[in-house]
Structure 1
């Protein structure tokens, strides 16, 4: 009888810790993430602001600034773009799926990183 109680207690603790880990990932998703990328043709600054909407749904506000580099190597005027995205968090894969284009957004919570396609964004808050 004691071993059954111990098994029940262990199973309950494992289940609770599993749910705590999942909710801890989701609790740490909202925030502001930045990325800077450059090539011989341009310099880009990206900001993603991720907000929890409800349930597993998130709003993602993307703000991008791009400078085109001319033939002399000089950066031109900053051009700005904004994009409003929605995503749904998949608890099994731990990936946020952007709903319009199906892009996958993954997170490394310990390092404060968000990965979107080939871009790696650093969390700043």
Structure 2
């Protein structure tokens, strides 16, 4: 009898912990994220502004500034703004954006969103 109670209590605690982590991940998403990269041919700065649009829907505004490098010199900056809609996938625990096919993984430990190999640090 005691063993059954312990097993049931453990299962209940586990289920509650999983739900809380899921809710924490979804609650974490709205905010502003930044990412910078530099390579042989250019420098880029990305800003993602993510807003909760209700239910499992989110709106993402991506602002990118890019400077090409030619002959070792930075060319003038180019700016680009794009808007996307995304949805939280409860089973996969990720934010899915259909137009570009991007998948946003929540990294609570590092206060970031991961897209492919890029880590976007949350600043607000």
- For the criterion TM > 0.5, the same-fold answer is yes
Name the residue aligned to 1:27: 27
Q: TM-score, normalization: structure 2?
A: 0.86
Q: How does 1:87-102 map to 2 (within 5 A)?
A: 87-102=86-101
Structure 2: gaps (5+ residues): none
Deviation at 1:43, TM superposition (A): 0.5
C-alpha root-mean-square deviation of aligned residues, in Å?
1.9
1: CA distance between counterparts of 2:94 and 2:8? 31
Q: TM-score, normalization: structure 1?
A: 0.86
CA gap 1:64/1:19 in 2 versus in 1, 3 angstroms: same
2: CA distance between counterparts of 1:110 and 1:29? 13
Equivalent residue pairs, number: 124
- Stretches of 4+ aligned residues off by more than 6 angstroms: 1-6
Structure 1: gaps (5+ residues): none
1: CA distance between counterparts of 2:40 and 2:12? 56
SS state of the match for residue 32, structure 1? strand
Deviation at 1:15, TM superposition (A): 3.0
CA gap 1:59/1:5 in 2 versus in 1, 3 angstroms: same
